[in-house]
């Protein structure tokens, strides 16, 4: 099912967003695990692509359908007031919701343009757009069998991210950070350092930051690179989602992932 890597990462990281840890050794579905705003808005992006719709309208539609998913303060204000336009955000919300874009287009140019469109309705700050484009490009390259060295080089040269660090180097001093510039490179490093999908997500959570979002990002890229999510995890995740969300994901999968 499409986007399950992002959504599974979100759910696995959900209990550690405010109960932060510095280890990769943690239970996968502890009590309180749930889908959050990362999953809701990822599905909203997929729905927008399926319907050739309006990103702002659909983010508001899905956000209002699931109003207690854990939105940030500024986004929540934007969600509730339909007269508010883009608010110059550099937060990682643009990066957490972008993954469907990487599956819906055939060229790098199209992916980067669509990622910008998905970001700019709220996150029109250059760093907000950069974060969305970096995640989308990483997924696009991964699903097209690019190696990790090529992905690292492309992201470094285009976006200026420092991807030479390791998770072990980052972890001791890393703190909660919701900015694109302070969380997207770190999430991408967790993918680059991983040995499989679950390792990427465990590394992302272990940094002790914005765990659900960073695991969502790392999980999305890892799914594309490793060819999926472990079946037992995917099955559990699907059971945790409302039918409304799984229907969109199934439609997206049939349209873009298998078509």
* pLDDT tens over the chain, length 259 residues: 568 999 999 999 999 999 999 999 999 999 999 999 999 999 999 999 999 999 999 999 999 999 999 999 999 999 999 999 999 999 999 999 999 999 999 999 999 999 999 999 999 999 999 999 999 999 999 999 999 999 999 999 999 999 999 999 999 999 999 999 999 999 999 999 999 999 999 999 999 999 999 999 999 999 999 999 999 999 999 999 999 999 999 999 999 976 4
CA atoms 211, 230, 3, 220: torsion sign: positive
Domain-located, residue 257? no
In a domain, 35, yes or no: yes
Q: How far is residue 32 CA from its own chain's centroid? A: 20
Q: Is residue 113 part of a domain?
A: yes
Query: What's the pLDDT score for residue 29?
Result: 98
pLDDT at 230: 97
Which of 170, 230, 161 has the alpha carbon at shortest distance from 199?
230
Confidence at residue 1, expressed as pLDDT on a 0 to 100 scale: 58
| Inside any domain, residue 203 | yes
The boundaries of the domain holding residue 126 are 4-250
Say which CATH number the domain at 230 has. 1.10.4080.10
* Angstrom distance (rounded) from CA 104 to CA 86: 24
How far apart (Å, rounded) are the C-alpha atoms in residues 178 and 218? 15
Q: Which pLDDT does position 84 carry in this prediction?
A: 95
CA–CA dist 72, 79 (Å, integer): 10
Element (H, E) at 106: none
Q: For residue 145, is it left (φ>0), alpha (ψ between -120 and 50) or beta? A: left
With respect to residue 186, please indicate whether it lies within any of the assigned structural domains: yes
Would 22 be classed as within a structural domain?
Answer: yes
The DSSP line for 229-244 is: --HHHHHHHHHTS-HH
Is the residue at 256 inside a domain?
A: no
- Closest by CA to 199, choosing from 175, 171, 222, is 222
Residue 179, domain member (yes or no): yes
What is the distance in angstroms between the CA of the first residue and the CA of the last residue of the chain?
A: 13
Q: How far apart are the C-alpha atoms of 166 and 149, rounded to whole Å?
A: 14
Cβ neighbours for 109, distance < 8 A, ≥ 6 positions apart: none
Specify the number of domains making up the chain. Answer: 1
Q: What's the pLDDT score for residue 257?
A: 75
């Amino acid at each position: 099912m499409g986007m399950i890597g992002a959504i599974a990462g979100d759910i696995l990281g959900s209990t550690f967003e405010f109960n932060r840890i510095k280890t990769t050794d943690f239970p996968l579905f502890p009590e309180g695990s749930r889908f959050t705003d990362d999953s809701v808005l990822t599905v909203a992006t997929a729905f927008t692509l399926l319907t050739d719709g309006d990103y702002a309208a659909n983010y508001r539609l899905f956000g209002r359908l699931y109003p207690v998913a854990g939105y940030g303060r500024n986004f929540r204000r934007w969600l509730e007031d339909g007269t508010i336009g883009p608010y110059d955000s550099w937060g990682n919300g643009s990066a957490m919701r972008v993954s469907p874009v990487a599956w819906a287009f055939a060229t790098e140019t199209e992916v980067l343009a669509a990622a910008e469109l998905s970001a700019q309705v709220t996150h029109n700050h250059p760093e907000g757009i950069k974060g969305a484009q970096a995640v989308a490009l990483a997924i696009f390259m991964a699903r097209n069998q690019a190696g990790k060295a090529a992905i690292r080089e492309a992201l470094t040269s285009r976006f200026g991210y420092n991807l030479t660090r390791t998770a072990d180097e980052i972890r001791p001093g890393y703190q909660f950070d919701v900015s694109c510039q302070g969380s997207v490179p770190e999430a991408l490093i967790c993918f680059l350092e991983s040995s499989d999908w679950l390792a990427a997500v465990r590394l992302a959570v272990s940094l002790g930051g914005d765990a659900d979002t960073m695991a969502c990002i790392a999980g999305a890229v890892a799914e594309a690179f490793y060819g999926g999510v472990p079946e037992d995890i995917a099955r559990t995740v699907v059971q945790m989602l409302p039918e409304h969300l799984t229907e969109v994901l199934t439609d997206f999968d049939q349209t873009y992932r298998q078509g």
